[in-house]
Amino acid sequence: MFLARFLMLMIAILLSYMILSKPLLLEDTDFSRIVLDRNKKLIRLTISADQKYRLYTSLDNIAPQFIEAVLLYEDKYFYQHIGVNPIALYKAFIQTYLGGNRKVGGSTITMQVARLKFKIKSSNVLGKIWQIVKAIQLELHYSKRDILEAYLNLVPYGGNIEGVGAASYIYLGRQAQDLNLFESLSLAVIPQNPVKRAPNSKVLEVSNNKTLLARKFLFERWQELHPQDKVYNKLFDLPAKFNSIQDLPFIAPQFTLRMLATNNHHNITTTIDKEIQSLIARQLEVYVNASTIYGIKNAAALLIDFTTMEVLASVGSANFSDVNIQGQIDGTRTRRSPGSTLKPFVYALAFDQGLIHPLTLLKDTPYNYGNYLPENFDGDFIGPISARDALIKSRNVPVLYLASKLFNPTFYEFLKQSGVARLLPVDKYGLSLALGGVEVTMEELVKLYAMLANMGRYQELKKVIEVQPNNLEISSLLSPEASYMTLDILKNVARPGLNANMLGSAATNLAVYWKTGTSSAFRDSWAVGIFGKYVLAVWVGDFQGKVKGQFIGVKTAAPLFFNIIDSLTSINLIEDLISYKVPSLKITKVLACADTGDIDNNLCPIKTDTWFIPGKSPIKPSGIYRKQERQLASGNNSYQISKFWSSDLNQVSINKNPLPSTISVYGVNSNSYQKPEITSPLKNVVYSLKVSKFITFSAITDANAATLFWFVDNQFIAKTMPTELFLWQATIGKKIIRVIDNNGYSHTRVIIVEN
């Protein structure tokens, strides 16, 4: 009597536990994370916290014929029983304990879930009873769909592989929803004996035979329900070809690591194109391996589609696994000096602010900015040069002059608006910003060039494909006209190679709008540009910055840059999208003097056309070509057109081909006359007698000026030639410096001298 009551109490407690206590199914299970490319191709599969390849996959994302095959093989009465199949258990008991054969479990799918989920040792009677209890408990609290989904995510597939999601990717290289009949039946038979049937089993031959026989048996049962599939009978006599864990892709490692760190989803679909990513990574590997004799050991590259701002390829280093080159560092996000790659944006701002048009004459001459005396890469000066040629030839002095004239925004303000992060206070840079004095990431640089391609519209990069795409925030930082005029110049930068005049892609002659950059001490070299719908940036250098004097943009980065472009254009039809923008622009072509940039004034002998923004581009004449009046012996007057270069340009020409000599002019036209400009002492500079007791006086003048007269506080100090320098012994106080040329034009500057 007591025993009966005790049993009834135990049963009541057990039933209460089963009914009132809801066990966790998959909520506390740790899963792998997966990163896919834009075409749903696998590029990265992580391992779970408990060291399993276990990828959560919903029933909706599993091929229906695979689910049917599993139910047919494992538990064909799954939808009829309550977690336990008494008939199957009875047969298993008889066969195991009375028949003398191998052990048979008789477990349903629900019982297998209970064993897997709760780590039950079901090989003994007590374990089996507890497995039954937990299976019934699961059935009381979860739907058949939930239980089946849990099974397909927990079932072992050999080694540390669990669940059909991970098994499908690892063994067959595809998603579970894409499994065909042959693949479905091949995978369905593995969990019943994963030690012997798993493709990565140590006993591979036995594994293959066991798998083949089991699959053949399952296919015979399948045909009973699907007789139309008998046509595949011969196919199932063939062995299945499986991959292994070692074959898992590890594409874009730095990029995927960042996506995993910044995204909480288990399944991440990125904008990366696996094929393009692999192609560019291979190009970097080949280039670096072939260039080690030249000191090149590392490189990085980034490719985006500027029409969508999607990152298509991100190669952080030449070899992720090479610790000797710090290969795990992501070169696309490392801050480095960009060298001259920022110069195009100074010109674009100058176009927008009405300072220049492409043929505006600029000066490549020595000029002092405070204590900063800029030099060109070649250590020389050209003299007069058009804005177009100054950008193509990447001259330093002209771009610094333009940068000094920018306002609202200044170049510093423009970079800040363009998303360049970690900028120091503006007084830390000075004009060196235009020459790459600020550190940027490759991603920031690509966004800047994408802004040019998008006609001045700045947008952030997109790296993940969302189900509901977010509207990208757009800021217009440059006009479409200024953006196009800048690109129209950049397409004329010659690519490196045997033919110095070669432009664009060698494969298709596609226009490439590009620029190189070299950082100080030659630590980094860059090439960045636009072709088709793409923006590509390439960096070659050393992450530690120890290699000096070897990296020059046009020599080390440009060849790799064009190798990548040629490889892409050779396999894809790519069209130039920039030239299509012209009809929509408020831009026109006007006649201008070929060597001074003056808009047609009937004085220049050689004219050409140039882009012009109506109401914005400058019209002011340079005054270099002037009409000179002469009196003939007959007493009649005649006119002659002559060139008049300013004194600084004439000075540069001494060691070059001399500029045309000038002759006296009868009467001076103040509209074209180069009024004197004091170049030293400098504007807004405080001079200290502790540094030097002498201050240099110099000025730029018109070619027609023969003499300069210098005054300090209205006291005459000296008379000099236009190109002559002299030293003035400074005295303390606020000083008014004035220079007057022999034609009566003057310039005044105020300085402060301290003790």
Please, what are the domains in the chain?
A: 21-247 (1.10.3810.10), 250-338+439-473+483-581 (3.40.710.10), 677-754 (2.60.40.10)
pLDDT-wise least confident of 96-100, 296-300, 578-582: 96-100
Mean pLDDT of the chain: 86
Residue 490: which of 579, 563, 570, 411 has the closest Cα?
579
pLDDT-wise least confident of 7-16, 17-26, 602-611: 7-16
Residues facing residue 627 across a β-bridge = 641
Per the CB < 8 A criterion, the answer to whether 616 and 590 are in contact is: no
Q: Mean pLDDT throughout 610-614?
A: 94
- Amino acid, res. 444: E
Q: How far apart are CA 44 and CA 85, in angstroms?
A: 40
Cis, bond preceding 681 (omega within 30 deg of 0): yes
Tell me the per-residue pLDDT of 492-505, one tens digit each, with 9 for 90 and over: 998 887 555 566 66
- Amino acid, res. 125: V
Q: How far apart are CA 668 and CA 237, in angstroms?
A: 101
Per the CB < 8 A criterion, the answer to whether 318 and 556 are in contact is: no
Q: In angstroms, how far is CA 363 from the centroid of its own chain?
A: 35
Tell me the per-residue pLDDT of 398-415, one tens digit each, with 9 for 90 and over: 999 999 999 999 999 999
pLDDT-wise least confident of 78-82, 200-204, 329-333, 396-400: 200-204
Residue 198: which of 243, 149, 256 has the closest Cα?
243
Say what the pLDDT of residue 723 is: 78
Q: How far apart are CA 461 and CA 43, in angstroms?
A: 20
Residue 560 scores a pLDDT above 70: yes
Tell me the per-residue pLDDT of 647-678, one tens digit each, with 9 for 90 and over: 777 776 544 544 444 433 334 455 667 889 88
